[in-house]
Structure 1
């Protein structure tokens, strides 16, 4: 595994590369308030067939947090900048939540660089009820620190059954650590991008293969919302992770990995 920090667009982005150099590229993008470590449950499976680039979104992990607010145009440009810096001509892109929404912008505006997308547990628009929840969450983080968000966030991100199983304690603790380590301004900046999310009217313009994946119990990106996104995207595929909530890749990695690897290999 190689680790680097690449400076572009006024931000230093931490990235990690796994897999064999002769494999096609697959870029993985984290959710809000996590970092590249959220993809650990997928790494072994994906690195068998791809050269995997994971990066910490601006303001997350050990990437720096420039002054916000951010827009999805910034997050999309960061990905293209990373590809340019690493001489990646084309790649498949998979993101979850914030990262999944970034995948939509890449598919729409950079189909010459992005071959396929996998959009997980995300949405394409910001209706009033969604947009109105973010200012209070940003204020809480600024006033009380990111630690104040750990409890309520974990409740939304994982199902009740997952929380009740002692075997999952390590996953919950690791996820809580990622939330605490997120830069407050980076969190606020990316939350501002979510409030301006407006890709839904453009989904019929996506002209590359797309897979939409959602946890059956995801409260943030409900199954019906993502199914509608898939139906609006020409030729898109759609899959549901049974029993999982928002971080479906971490809650049910067995099912998630099978769906994703099969789709990547055309099965």
Structure 2
């Protein structure tokens, strides 16, 4: 059973969402990364929807969701999630987020522990040291000087490993990624990039109540293994898994490893 719709937030922004899976399935919410949209999880939805009620939505300024003027902050992105699940009358759900989506899921789990059953935080981080902030300053400057499309190819070299990018058989998947990137609004990209500069969840990880799985690619430079290991070490009742031969979008680069890890966690 599949259903699509939109929900209007308090500031008038409309968020697009899609629901797949059995009406009596346990809810799992999938949260996309910066400059992607709900298509990031097409493969995950194909198998999770056999057992779960899968809710995907486009982060504001991404995909089919409206943008608002930047900057954004995690309180805003978090309230979008809570507003969406309130609209759909979801009391409690598992959450799976990649990069920005993983950080947003962390924000929800910290501030609204009664709404998150289990948390899967992938290729994300909980802090924003100065070199990390500088990346987004540079990207925003290039966005203003040129356009969003100018950021696409350089970003792909960070999102995927060189062998993956060089393999011609991956072109269809990479073309979808390029389309997601270029479909993102400039305001949505800038707002989310500024949001990432405000990351400060490390002091709150010890308060997490949800059973938590952290996942990252072994070649992820944005959310390195050492960074996510430290997040797991700070989080009660957590597990940490590394995906081999993957960079930042580990679910796209190594879908089988990703599936085995998250389905094993959810089946516990």
TM bracket, shorter-chain basis: over 0.9
1:138 and 2:107 aligned:
no
Could you tell me how far apart the structure 2 residues matched to 1:248 and 1:142 are?
29
Could you tell me how far apart the structure 2 residues matched to 1:56 and 1:156 are?
22
Deviation (angstroms), 1:143: 2.9
Secondary structure of the corresponding residue to residue 33 of structure 1: coil
- What residue is the counterpart of 1:165 in the other structure? 167
Residues 17-54 of structure 1 show CA distances to partners (whole Å, capped at 9, x for unaligned) of 00011001000000000000000121111111110000
Unaligned 5+ segments in structure 1 are none
Deviation (angstroms), 1:9: 2.9
RMSD after superposition: 0.8
Normalised by the length of structure 2, the TM-score is 0.98
Could you tell me how far apart the structure 2 residues matched to 1:7 and 1:143 are?
32
Residues 94-118 of structure 1 show CA distances to partners (whole Å, capped at 9, x for unaligned) of 1000000011111111111111110
Could you tell me how far apart the structure 1 residues matched to 2:186 and 2:166 are?
29
Residues 203-255 of structure 1 show CA distances to partners (whole Å, capped at 9, x for unaligned) of 11111100000011001100110011001001100111110100000000111
Could you tell me how far apart the structure 1 residues matched to 2:89 and 2:179 are?
32
- What residue is the counterpart of 2:234 in the other structure? 232
Deviation (angstroms), 1:142: 2.7
Could you tell me how far apart the structure 2 residues matched to 1:104 and 1:5 are?
23
Q: Is the 8 A contact 1:45 1:261 kept in 2?
A: no
- What residue is the counterpart of 2:7 in the other structure? 6
Q: Which of 122, 125, 147 is equivalent to 2:124?
A: 122
Could you tell me how far apart the structure 2 residues matched to 1:260 and 1:144 are?
39
- What residue is the counterpart of 2:247 in the other structure? 245
Could you tell me how far apart the structure 1 residues matched to 2:83 and 2:211 are?
22
Could you tell me how far apart the structure 1 residues matched to 2:10 and 2:193 are?
19
Unaligned 5+ segments in structure 2 are none
Secondary structure of the corresponding residue to residue 63 of structure 1: coil
Q: Is the 8 A contact 1:97 1:121 kept in 2?
A: yes
Deviation (angstroms), 1:139: 2.0
Question: Runs in 1 of length 4+ with deviation above 2 angstroms?
Answer: none
Q: Is the 8 A contact 1:101 1:123 kept in 2?
A: yes
Normalised by the length of structure 1, the TM-score is 0.98
How many residue pairs get matched? 266
